[in-house]
Amino acid sequence: MDKKGKKIKVLMAKTSMDGHWMGVTLVATALRDAGMEVVYGGQLRPEEIVAAAVQEDADVIGLNVGGSTRTVQRLMDLLSEKKVEALVVAGGTVPPCDIPVLKKMGISNVFPPGSSLDSIVNHIKDMVQK
C-alpha cells in the first residue's frame, strides 16, 4: 500500500531494444505477489514512458536498462520537466561502474543480475511509504 492506502502501482518498461524478458517477468511476478499492481509497457522511448506513467498514475517506474545512460538521462529530464514524481528504479545488466552514474541521475536504486527479489520489493515499499 502507498501512503493513501491504495495499491502501489508500478509501470515497467525496457529502455533499450534488447528483447530478454525473463528478468522483467521475475520482477513483475514478485511485485504482484507483494500486492502491487504492475503494468508492463515493453520497449518504450523516453517520451512514451513519461506518457504511460502519467496515464497510469504510476507510483513507481521500473526500468530494464542496458548500457543506454544517455537515454535514461533523457527520461529523467523529461520526468522532472513534466513534474512526474514517480520513484524510478532500474535493473538489468549494468556494469558496477555505471551504478553510481545512474543513481546520480536520480534513479533511486539499481539492481544488477543476481539481486534478490526481496531487496527490490522492500526498497520499493520503503521508498513509496516514506
Partner 1 sequence: MKKKGDVEQFVTRSGYPVKRVYDHRDVQDLDPDKDLGEPGSAPYTRGAYPNMYRERPWRIFQLSGYGLPEDEGARIRFLLETGEMGFIMEPDLLTCWHLYDLDDPEVVCRKDDVGQTGATLLSLRDYEIALEGIHIEMTYAHPGAVTPQLSPFAHACYFSVAEKRGIPLSQLRGTGEGDMIIAYLATPGKEPIPPSAGIRLNCDLIEFCIEKAPKWVPVSISAANARAGGLYKNEHELALTLANAIAYVDEILSRGKLKIDDFAYKIAGVGLSTGGDFFEDIAKYRAARRMWHKLMKERYGAQAERSLRLRLHTNVGASMCSYQQPLNNIVRTTCGALAAALAGTQSMGLACYDEAICIPTEHAHMMAVRTQQILQLEIGITDVVDPLGGSYYVEWLTNEVEKRSWQYLEEIEKRGGLVGALESGWLHLEAKKGLLEQQRQLMNDEFKFVGVNCFLVEEEPHEIQVFRSPRVYEQAKARQDKLKRERDNKKAQKALDKLRAVCKSGENVMPALMEAVKADVTAGEVGNLWREVFSTWEAPLPI
Q: Among 52, 112, 123, 127, indicate the residue that binds partner 1 (CB under 8 A).
A: 112
Residue 114 is classified by DSSP as T
> Which residues face 88 on adjacent strands?
61
Q: Among 8, 31, 68, 90, indicate the residue that binds partner 1 (CB under 8 A).
A: 68
Q: Among 1, 43, 82, 122, indicate the residue that binds partner 1 (CB under 8 A).
A: 43
Query: 17-56: buried (b, 16+ CB within 10 Å) or exposed (e) per residue?
Result: eeeeeebbeebbebbeeeebebbebeebebeebbbbbeeb
CA-based torsion, 111, 17, 81, 3: positive or negative: negative
- Name which of 106 and 115 has its Cβ closer to partner 1: 115
- Name which of 66 and 106 has its Cβ closer to partner 1: 66
Please give the residue ranges that form the binding site for partner 1 (CB under 8 A). Answer: 12, 15-22, 24-26, 28-29, 40, 42-43, 45-47, 66-71, 74, 93, 95-97, 112-114, 117
